[in-house]
Amino acid sequence: MVGVLAKIRSRRALRCIAVITVTAIAFAASKVRAQALEIDPAKIIDLTHTFDASTIYWPGEETGFSHEYEKKGMTPGHYFYSSAKYAAPEHGGTHMDAPIHFNQHGMTAEQVPLADCIGPAAVIDFSARAAKDRDATLSVDDIKSYEAANGPIPDGAIVVARSGWGKYWPDKVHYLGTAKPGDVAGLHFPGYSPEAVAYLIKNRHLSAIAIDTASMDPGSSKSFPVHRLWLASDKPGFENLANADKLPPKGATIFCIPMKIGEGTGGPARIFAVLP
Ligand SMILES: [Zn+2]
CATH number at residue 199: 3.50.30.50
pLDDT of residue 16: 45
pLDDT of residue 8: 45
Q: Say yes or no: 88 and 24 in one domain.
A: no
- What average pLDDT does the segment 136-159 reach? 98
Around 67, how many Cα atoms within 13 Å sit in the side-chain half-sphere?
A: 9
Distance 91 CA to ligand 1 centre (A): 4
pLDDT of residue 38: 84
- Provide the domain limits for residue 153: 46-68+82-274
Count of structural domains, the chain: 2
AA letter at 146: Y
Distance 152 CA to ligand 1 centre (A): 28
Q: Say yes or no: 144 and 264 in one domain.
A: yes
Identify the H or E element spanning 21: helix 2-37
Q: What does the DSSP 8-state code read for residue 155?
A: T
- What average pLDDT does the segment 252-265 reach? 98
Q: Say yes or no: 4 and 100 in one domain.
A: no
Residue 63: inside a domain: yes
CA–CA separation, 142 vs 160, rounded Å? 12
**Chain mean pLDDT for the chain:** 91
Q: Say yes or no: 1 and 51 in one domain.
A: no
Comparison of pLDDT for 5 and 203, the residue scoring more: 203
Task: For 68-106, write each residue's pLDDT tens digit.
Answer: 999 999 999 999 999 999 999 999 999 999 999 999 999
Residue 127: inside a domain: yes
Q: CA separation (Å) from 76 to 80, 136, 190?
A: 9, 59, 54
Comparison of pLDDT for 13 and 107, the residue scoring more: 107
Rounded (10°) CA dihedral 91, 94, 99, 104: 0
CA–CA separation, 126 vs 121, rounded Å? 16
Residue 75: inside a domain: no
Q: Who's near 109: CB < 8 A, 6+ residues apart?
A: 90, 96, 98, 258, 259, 260, 261, 262, 263, 264, 265, 266, 267
- What average pLDDT does the segment 199-203 reach? 98
* pLDDT > 70? residue 12: no
Residue 2: inside a domain: yes
Residue 111: how many CB atoms within 10 A of its CB? Answer: 15
CA–CA separation, 129 vs 150, rounded Å? 20
- What average pLDDT does the segment 3-23 reach? 50
Distance 215 CA to ligand 1 centre (A): 7
Residue 76: inside a domain: no
Distance 43 CA to ligand 1 centre (A): 27
Residue 59, helix vs strand vs coil:
coil
- Binning pLDDT at 50, 70 and 90, where does residue 5 land? very low
Q: Who's near 270: CB < 8 A, 6+ residues apart?
A: 48, 94, 256, 257
- What average pLDDT does the segment 146-175 reach? 98
Distance 89 CA to ligand 1 centre (A): 10
Our measurement of the distance from residue 42's CA atom to the centroid of its chain's CA atoms, rounded to an integer in Å, reads 19
Distance 94 CA to ligand 1 centre (A): 9
Q: Say yes or no: 109 and 208 in one domain.
A: yes
